[in-house]
Structure 1
Amino acid sequence: MPDFYKFARKILFRLDAETAHHLTLSGMVWANRLGLLGVLTGSGRRSHPVGSEIEVMGLSFPNRVGLAAGLDKAGIAVDAFGSLGFGHVEVGTVTPRPQPGNDQPRLFRLVEHEAIINRMGFNNPGVLALLDNLKKSRRRFRGILGINIGKNFDTPNEEALEDYLAGYQAVYGAADYVAVNLSSPNTKGLRDLQNVETCRTLILTLQAARDELAKRHGGKRTAIA
């Protein structure tokens, strides 16, 4: 519905990029609950075409179109994105404890390139709040849910393994797969964790935890880095 888009864009572009982002997410959630999201976007309640399914990592995805982590950090809009037709939604990145992220402003529009510069820095409400949000935002979604986990910015790299393990254990029962974020350029020193020995230790630790968690939750969840 291009006319609605033009109208909404004029309003949202009067706001800074981060405020517009939060307002849009909240608006999507409420529009979806009222059954208006499909009307406003022209999407209806998307069904997945027959034959669009694909199996990856032992998981059956209803289609190949998914939402990457970073857009819905707090896990508030899973059903809404499902209504738009996404076959999988990855929420987060989420850390064990809440953290504000980098100083604002930290999200910048490049209007001429139709692009955004993101310097957010893992701002999120913490894993417990995210799990609580998912209880309300994942009632009708039938796709695959991924949860992206990271370490808190004030956790030294020497103790990062504890953060990842805590996050993995917390989200295991709610996720279809867990993504381990070691690549964000917006958290100082995070990419140092990509060295071979650190990655090997992290993977082996999460694998051991998965075997124990699978007994409690009835099935192994794939962890990807």
Structure 2
Amino acid sequence: MTVTLITGGNKGLGHETARQLLDLGHDVWIGARDAGRGQEAAARIGARSVQLDVTDEASVRRALATIDAAEGRLDVLVHNAGVLETGLDGPAATRSFATNAVGVVLVTEAALPLLRRSANPTVVTVSSSMGSFWAVTNPDRPEAGFPLALYAASKAAATMLTLQYAKANPGIRFNAVEPGATATDMTAAFGIGRPVQESARVVVRWATPDPSGPTGTFQDEAGTLPW
């Protein structure tokens, strides 16, 4: 059985991704900052949960140690936890990069020993086309009309980190994914987005790759995304 960890998996896109992967036979662990909410979310769909705050290195290490003790390996890691700050100041910048970029580093570093024990290790970063220089400077793209500086910058960092991890770890498949604008709590203020089920399918596709599939790419549902 494929052992999968999804950060921020207690609601929204992460929770629906967990549900779809469970349907495909994965043994899914939901990582949630709030242990109680994580347990409730996992119980709803038959997953397992672990307390995991991607901005807290001690929490991250405890979570991966728990999975290691229970499973002995990790096959799929989905970096889904994220924040969207609409303000632009120091505290907002710290929160944005701590979750959207530094969290990718903390969780990946803790997960690498477990991933190296997998026969088909896969890491998917839920990034955003808002972090694409090509998209935000293209007047024909909706991203050009959203002044979300910290979200865009931190997601650009998340994509670059993912690609650099792919270069450094040729035995592990790393890809960043734009799942599509999705109606979640995070986007509610903008009144945009399609049903979460549709966007989760994009993440699931990259979390269940062919062993010969690509690594070190940034993808959306149409293919490789310029960035």
Short-chain TM bin? 0.3 to 0.5
Question: TM-score normalized by structure 2?
Answer: 0.36
Bigger helix fraction: 2
RCO comparison, higher one (Cα < 8 Å, 6+): 2
Q: Highest Rg: 1 or 2? A: 1
